[in-house]
Structure 1
Amino acid sequence: MSELSGKAFLVVGATGALGSRIARLLADRGADVTVSGRSADALAALDIAGAHAVAADLREPDAPRSIVAAAAERHGRLDGLVIAAGVVAFGALTEVDDDTVDDLLLVDFLAPLRLIRAALPVLERDGVILGISAVVAEKPMANMAAYSAAKAATAALFTAVRAEARRRKVRVVDVRPPHTETGLAGRAIAGDPPKLPAGLDPDNVAARIVEALLGTDTDVPSTAF
């Protein structure tokens, strides 16, 4: 029997550098895994043996609920939710238009809120919800004000809902890794990234996240990497 045999996890944002690694590590340990992302083709390209794929756009209000429902139905249970989806934008606040702000809030804040709201009633006892916010939730950055604010709101969400989830015997983990070489900055939805120092190895960051997911952590700050 593998370590996680009989356990079911949903990884949202599974086509990203961290989400894909997390999903693969869980599958390698024997978990049943549902992977979700916007592109069906990108999900298929992950080629994770036995993974159940659900393509959905988190900007759509009902997408989080439908993703959670599909995962729970497929596996007959849900033991963990990993929220690894996110978008980033750069630029002075006066230069960031409303459509960009809307996308930041929809994907980086409202989608996690809706995912948690959908998952809490169906997660098994001793289940876990892990969200990846960002180091900017600890240290907001100039020319990333809207993104920093969205991530800070998400970190506050994880902290506040932790006490509510405890009553359901569900652990909520907020992970805030430092700059990591995920390529996210190069896929910004607006603006150009500043010159950044070399980031952390995504393999190492993903391994630390899975350690937190399967351990007892509830808060993993940037200093823990």
Structure 2
Amino acid sequence: MDVVEAGVLVVGATGAIGGQTAGQLAESGAATALAGRNRDRLKERASALGGSPWRTFEAHDLDSCAQLAPWAKATLGGLDVLVVAIGVAGFGSAVEVPDTSAEHLFTVNALAPMAVVRGSLGVLSPGGVVAVVTGEIVDRPARGMADYAAAKAALATWLGVAGREARRDRLEVMDVRMPHLDTAFAAHPAVGTAPALRPGSDPVEAVHEHIVLPILHALGR
């Protein structure tokens, strides 16, 4: 499959990773649909990409998450690639994080992405690709980030099993262990305050290496 023929949905398109992914895939010729939470930013990003179709959703409304892929397929006339780049940071020791905050972290970082992917598996074209951003936190969980790390690890485990199951339908599910990036992600946590963090990688280069190139390779297989 040529990327020019591909229909792509980027969920989390108003964020740094999702925005870069949408832009780079659109530049490669893909027909790209966008989904995000912030209506104004989503409209601006869609306009910048030449009028891409867009739709808002709320991570805590799992039904709305599950409907994103069917909407994109109907809008684009087919869906070949799903990219999920949603999440929220959280900081604090295991004893300090309130249960309500832990629930929020698990919903946004695990349950919502799972619902989006689950809703896509029956509508993606054979040979399609799912790429979901988890992060290096899965492999190197840090102190003061137990709940955030656990949510991402839960998502990674689910993706691993879902990916094996999806092979029978000729779908590839990618768990994208993105490195720490130089973005404002950690500056807006759901709980706690970010510690001093090491300098991050360039998001443009990281998105190209870890998301866009693997997708292009998979579509060409």
Normalising to structure 2: TM-score of the pair?
A: 0.94
| Match of residue 130 from structure 1 | 131
Asked if the contact 2:129/2:218 (under 8 Å) is kept, the reply is: no
| Match of residue 66 from structure 2 | 65
For residue 35 of structure 2, give the secondary structure of its aligned residue in structure 1: strand
| Match of residue 40 from structure 1 | 39
Structure 1, gaps ≥5 residues long: 218-225
| Match of residue 19 from structure 1 | 18
| Match of residue 96 from structure 1 | 97
Amino acid at match of 1:13: G
- How far 1:5 moved relative to its partner? 2.1
- How far 1:64 moved relative to its partner? 1.2
CA distance in 1, matches of 2:103, 2:49: 32
For residue 19 of structure 2, give the secondary structure of its aligned residue in structure 1: helix
Give a deviation string over 1:66-113, Cα, whole Å, max 9, x none. Answer: 211211110121001001011110001111112211111111111121
Stretches (4+) displaced over 3 A:
none
Structure 2, gaps ≥5 residues long: none
Amino acid at match of 1:160: V
CA distance in 2, matches of 1:121, 1:79: 12
CA distance in 1, matches of 2:4, 2:181: 30
For residue 95 of structure 1, give the secondary structure of its aligned residue in structure 2: coil
5 Å-filtered alignment, 1:71-150, equals 71-150=72-151
CA distance in 2, matches of 1:5, 1:213: 13
Asked if the contact 1:32/1:50 (under 8 Å) is kept, the reply is: no
Normalising to structure 1: TM-score of the pair?
A: 0.92
For residue 193 of structure 1, give the secondary structure of its aligned residue in structure 2: coil
- How far 1:45 moved relative to its partner? 1.8
| Match of residue 212 from structure 1 | 214
| Match of residue 7 from structure 1 | 6
Q: Kindly tell me the number of residue pairs found equivalent between the two proteins.
A: 215
For the pair 1:199 / 2:200, whether they are aligned, the reply is yes
Asked if the contact 2:68/2:119 (under 8 Å) is kept, the reply is: no
CA distance in 2, matches of 1:145, 1:23: 30
For the pair 1:158 / 2:167, whether they are aligned, the reply is no
| RMSD, matched Cα | 1.3
